[in-house]
Structure 1
Amino acid sequence: MRLNEITFTDALPVDGYGPGFFRVGGEVHEGALLIWDRGRADWGGLEDHETLLSMIGFVDVIFVGTGAETAHLPKDLRDRLEEAGLGVEAMNSPSACRTYNVLLSEGRRVALAALPV
């Protein structure tokens, strides 16, 4: 199989995940994760609206990983993000990681906020 090298922005892709952790750039991150081209950080989960709102103007869409199962975002969170012009897509965390990596490889302005599986 022929493999092509993918060039990412300054943001690192998610290399892997497991019970309670994510691996980004070869380093393990315990707990909920927020990652975008300006770095990575702990994320306070679905109640942490302000952290996600701080990305206005820097990203076009945030992929929200809701853990092992897909769950709806709290309505007030979705409304605030969409009113601010920020796209938001909720899905289970494995799907959110994969989708984030694909769009990141295309050079898109994306972020990932994910709860561990």
Structure 2
Amino acid sequence: MRLNEISYSDARPVDGYGPGFFRIGGEVFSGSVLTSVKGTSQWGGYEDLTSLLALEGEIDVLFVGTGSEIAHVPAPLREELEAAGIGVEGMTSPAACRTYNVLLSEGRRIALAALPV
């Protein structure tokens, strides 16, 4: 097996997560998080559209982690983001974290908004 060193641009990868927290770039965040090349901050959940729309022009796809269970991203949220040119992919938070890290390592224009497990 060949192992390669992964380098991330300015964004920080998700190092881990657990009940009520995420560890991103070595820093622990309680509750929901939003992370992208612009940095990592608390996220107010599905009602916090303003912080997501601030990523307009910066990202192509937003991964929405829905917690430990798969759920639909609320239609109004999805519609607003897609109208702003941001693709939305909903999945469980563990799957969203893994997908985010893989695509981040490829230099993709992505962000992660995740509810805790």
TM-score, normalized by length of structure 2? 0.97
Structure 2 distance, partners of 1:84, 1:50, is 12
Structural mapping, 1:55-66, within 5 Å: 55-66=55-66
Gaps of 5+ in 1: none
Partner of 1:59: helix, strand, or coil? Answer: coil
Q: Tell me which moved more, 66-75 or 1-10.
A: 1-10
- How much identity, in percent, do the aligned residues show? 67
1:53 corresponds to which residue? Answer: 53
Post-superposition Cα deviations, 1:24-59, rounded to whole Å, max 9, x if no partner, equal 111211110000011100000011111111110001
Give the Cα separation in 2 of the matches to 1:102 and 1:70. 20
Letter in 1 for 2:23: R
SS at match of 2:45: coil
- RMSD, aligned CA: 0.8
| CA distance in structure 2 between the partners assigned to 1:49 and 1:26 by the alignment | 26
Shift in Å, 1:2: 3.2
Structure 2, gaps ≥5 residues long: none
Give the AA of the match of 2:31: G
The 3-state SS of whatever aligns with 1:41 is strand
AA aligned opposite 1:53:
L
**1:28 matched to which residue of 2?**
28
Structure 1 residue runs of 4 or more that deviate by more than 6 Å after TM superposition: none
Q: How many residues align?
A: 117
